[in-house]
Structure 1
């Protein structure tokens, strides 16, 4: 009996061979996940977790291949290790974020808060620190896909779904996962959309960072509350006429954030 895998022997990294061998054999779903991890054991672990959760998985083992596969395959989500050969994971994040809004989940062994915040500032949506549990990883992947409308049954939504939220010239459409400012469509990451949806849903109400983590992200207390600040900074760059003097996402010092009353009609 012929072994179709033999032609891959010796080509690419061990992590990439794992991905080629198993891609297409996992449980099929409406979501395709690109996993960028240079450690074959870690890559296999992530792949098994995600395939058991019903996702199709592609694995690559270096930064250059990550960029190539992300552009060619257009995955629904990227799981990206920070420490990658050829092109660093943070550089991959920066490059891809300039090209698309694909949700990015960072895998990192770094415990320094500034490293994690740098990744978020570059456009990553979330992170998981090693070692992580299968439940944590799959839950965060699912949350990002749900926010991006990339899960089966999630997306444009039926007629008569959630009402479009309007604050001044800002429009948030939860059914289509779209945001417009003065009629111009603004491309947001899944996390940025979650924040603006929560705030626009109750204008003038102050939400603490912990509340935003729970309501907009669906995550627990293990996530750094300062990650909210990083996402808010990126969100302001996209929707505010003057990010330095925001009229939409406003800071309430010592408490959290609110949708500014100055932006209301």
Structure 2
């Protein structure tokens, strides 16, 4: 039964906190393995499947930032960072290195549980979408074709261009959910499926570049339409192939 529960790996040098996390999360249908540092973490990852890592940034020896960087180079396992209230620079660095979320100490156990559940739901959603996208060859709309395997965009008159990673990721996310409003947060999450780094501040810039490439009149877009206060919608029908 325990093998079917989400497996959380907690990395923190505070034994009392490890005990609290283990007991609380176990009561809420999560399997928990708690270790004190990077070496023990590596040992667990070699032996077991882990669904999420709770990582303290202030660790002796190899610190949490170095561990986060190493984890992100190795794969995409979700990382929830634990930081001190005054560690803003470390939080920013951790997020830039690829951590998915953070909590400041001291934190509410209920909030930790809610954030872990949200991360696990996101991973499940991403896996489902990625499986579906992996079966597709292309998207078509109004004479345009985006070849997913070659990352090439062909215009109605036959011109072909290779899109930069950011534009390809964002356009693919939009085409995967046509005629549905997507918030900037959703676009960021779904764009990460395609191995690119897109941040909230760059969404609008990427949208502008895409409009210049596909819209007959970029100043009056009919494909990628802004829904004020909500996000963006790919407003025309899309054929998945």
What's the TM-score bracket when you normalise by the shorter of the two chains? Answer: 0.5 to 0.7
| TM-aligned CA distance change 1:140 to 1:206, over 3 Å | closer
CA deviations on 1:163-208 (whole Å, 9 max, x unpaired) are: x89586387xxxxxxxx7739xxxxxxxxx9xx858953579684x
Q: Which runs of 4+ in 1 moved over 6 A?
A: 231-237
1:52 offset after TM fit, Å? 1.0
Counterpart residue number, 1:94: 69
The CA distance in 1 between the partners of 2:175 and 2:106, in whole Å, is 33
Of 118, 126, 130, 2:105 maps to 130
The CA distance in 2 between the partners of 1:103 and 1:120, in whole Å, is 11
Aligned pairs for 1:20-169 within 5 A: 29-149=4-124, 156=128, 169=146
| TM-aligned CA distance change 1:29 to 1:205, over 3 Å | closer
SS in 2 for 1:136: helix
The CA distance in 2 between the partners of 1:36 and 1:197, in whole Å, is 33
Give the TM-score normalised by the residue count of structure 1: 0.54
1:60 offset after TM fit, Å? 0.6
The CA distance in 1 between the partners of 2:150 and 2:75, in whole Å, is 19
Counterpart residue number, 1:201: 177
| Higher helix proportion (structure 1 or 2) | 2
5+ long unaligned stretches in structure 1: 1-25, 172-179, 184-192, 218-227
SS in 1 for 2:113: helix
The CA distance in 2 between the partners of 1:235 and 1:47, in whole Å, is 30
Counterpart residue number, 1:238: 196
Which has the higher Rg, Structure 1 or Structure 2? Answer: 2
The CA distance in 2 between the partners of 1:45 and 1:132, in whole Å, is 12
| TM-aligned CA distance change 1:232 to 1:108, over 3 Å | farther
SS in 2 for 1:107: strand
Contact residue 52 and residue 120 of structure 2 kept, 8 A: yes
5+ long unaligned stretches in structure 2: 153-168, 211-225
Say what the alpha-carbon RMSD is for the aligned residues: 4.6
| TM-aligned CA distance change 1:96 to 1:67, over 3 Å | same
Contact residue 37 and residue 59 of structure 1 kept, 8 A: yes
